[in-house]
Structure 1
Amino acid sequence: MLTGSFTFVVMTYNLWGDAHLEQREPAIRDLFSIRPPDLLATQELRPRSRAVVDEALPGHARVHDDFPGWGTQSNLWWRQELFDLVEYGTRDVGILDTDARLFWVRLRPRAGDARPLVFSTAHLTWPGHAQERADRRNLRTGQAEQVVTALDEIAGDEACLFTVDINDIGQPLWVLGNGGFLDSFSALGRTSPVTHPVAPLPFVTDRGTRLSPLGSPSKAIDWIFSRGPIATRASEVVEFFSAGNAPSDHKPVAATFTLPSTTA
């Protein structure tokens, strides 16, 4: 490890909105109590699940803001003994869901002289959105392009982490790669395991989706991307059940990163 560098664990997690939340609450609480990350990004957040995360991560802070998306879409948590908040914001990147944005914070590590970083998240539009079904055009490619443009402006040459439920397996990923971002598995010469859907889900009895009788295909759609002066050390799709229940229909992704010192 470089002298003055700083290593920490990041997790991204789609919390599945309000679906079966009463049954899943204990598992959500157990996950974050047993495996608390230093940085956490969430998608499909709701006020109730946000309160559960707050309870399970008492040593963490998050963004408190009147914009409703911080409680109904995404939020970002950081371990207070490790990071200080510098600033935060949102950016409209064309995601077609109420209050959906690119959510970001700029954090300064408290230890040594490690470089600051931008930590961000988004949940790109579901392929079953009415507009996409009507015109059959992939909405996520343009959204990924807007994410890259926004993070170019927000982060510049700083270390940048972008976490996402990308809802796709093709072009939006290529856009991010061509924008200088590398996912935490590719950075280690690996491919990502499946992140969605989780099985079994004992409280779910329906087959398929509300748009088709076909079950959702197994796929990797949850990612942690990095760019700039930051090194990927490890990456994992987390398998977690508590009392037979999964916390979500997605699996969390966790990765370890190192920030070099400002003098490295």
Structure 2
Amino acid sequence: MSKTFCLHTTMLALLLSSLIGSSGSANELRIMSFNLRYGTANDGENHWDKRKEFVAETIHAYAPDLLGTQETLEFQKEFLSKKMPAYTSVGVGRDRGDQSGEMTALFFKTERFELLEEGHFWLSETPRIPGSKSWDTSLTRMCSWVRLQDRVSESKRPILFMNTHFDHRGSDARLQSARLLRKKADELGDGCDIVLTGDFNAAADSEPYRALFSELPGETVFLDTYATKRPADESGEATFSGFKSSTLEGSRIDWIAIRGSWTLQEAAIDRTGKEGRTPSDHYPVTAILSQANSTR
């Protein structure tokens, strides 16, 4: 066997590996939603500087194609961008719509996806106004989104990837935010298959959950990936860890929702831990999808 043939074979294998990823299927789409815990919090031994490498390792181990992050400050986004050079990041600060303040930054694999459009809206009655607040929200909240074309998928349908973070105190704000997300998904996702990630600060039996996932006349329903793939009576659904890897019981407040021509293969809570600690005060949640073939 010639050296030239071996070299070409190796290069082809590397190219296919980069397109397919660790999953082994070119059409597979690996999703992760991860609340990073804002990097200036006074968290002592769990401060960002002491766990940031662990965060990057956890993301790298799962190798998501699409990653939605919450509580992300600009220097955290920049750190991950340097650690993840194969990804493009999109995010603006929630207070002014610039690069300062907390973001719902999202990441996607640059070679796999063509970026068609990007944008942001605020969870308020005036969603186009940066920093706007409504209802009983305690903090400014927002959603960042991108419209992508998957270069690997056989489907011709674009993907609308949305990432958000609901208020932690305002119950009406969470409910109204869920309703707004459905409306925006209709507006922005016409002709798209949709992926929505986020920290919703609400349990799976809450009004915001029902507002997002209940079937309504004339609307296509969102699907809760975790609830679809896991037994209804399964215990240990907590996604807020409090930095303790032993945390199992509690509410599942971080969700990955999908809508459109998807086949759902797997959904899970990533309970990665090291010496009893987790990389953030939330567990990442994950899902594996494939996009149905479509010429539309």
Same fold (TM over 0.5): yes
RMSD: 2.6
User: What amino acid sits opposite 2:122 in the alignment?
Assistant: D
Matched, 1:113 2:125: no
Q: Supply the AA of the counterpart residue of 1:262.
A: S
Instruction: Decide which moves more: 95-104 or 241-250.
Output: 95-104
Displacement, 1:108?
0.2
Are the counterparts in 1 of residues 147 and 158 from structure 2 also a CA contact under 8 Å? yes
- Aligned residue number for residue 261 of structure 1: 293
Q: What letter is aligned with 2:83?
A: A
TM-score relative to the length of structure 2: 0.73
Structure 2 gaps, min length 5? 1-25, 42-46, 125-132, 216-220
Q: Where does residue 233 of structure 1 map in the other structure? A: 265
User: Counterpart of 1:52?
Assistant: 79
In structure 2, what is the Cα distance between the partners aligned to 1:69 and 1:151?
Answer: 25
Structure 1 residues 199, 246: closer, same or farther in 2, change over 3 A?
A: closer
Residues 198-209 of structure 1 aligned to structure 2 (within 5 Å): 198-200=242-244
Partner of 1:126: 168
Which stretches of structure 1, 4 residues or more, deviate above 3 A after TM superposition?
95-99, 189-192, 242-245
Residue 251 of structure 2 aligns to a residue whose secondary structure is: coil
Which structure: larger Rg?
Answer: 2
Shift in Å, 1:157: 4.3
> Equivalences for 1:214-233 in 2 at 5 Å?
218-233=250-265
Between stretches 192-201 and 168-177, larger displacement belongs to 192-201
Alignment of 1:23-172 (within 5 A): 23-63=50-90, 67-68=97-98, 72-94=102-124, 96=137, 100-111=141-152, 113-114=154-155, 115-127=157-169, 132=170, 138-169=172-203, 170-172=206-208
1:116 Cα deviation from its structure 2 partner:
1.3
Larger RCO: 1 or 2 (CA < 8 Å, sep 6+): 1
Q: What's 1:247 paired with?
A: 279
Pair 1:12-2:53 in alignment? no
Unaligned runs of 5+ in 1: 202-216
Q: Is the 8 A contact 1:162 1:224 kept in 2?
A: yes
How many pairs does the alignment contain? 239
1:194 aligns with 2:238: yes
Partner SS for 1:85: strand
Given residue 52 of structure 2, which amino acid in structure 1 is its aligned partner?
Answer: E
**TM-score scaled by structure 1?**
0.81
Identity %: 25
Contact 1:73/1:100 (CA < 8 Å) preserved in 2? no
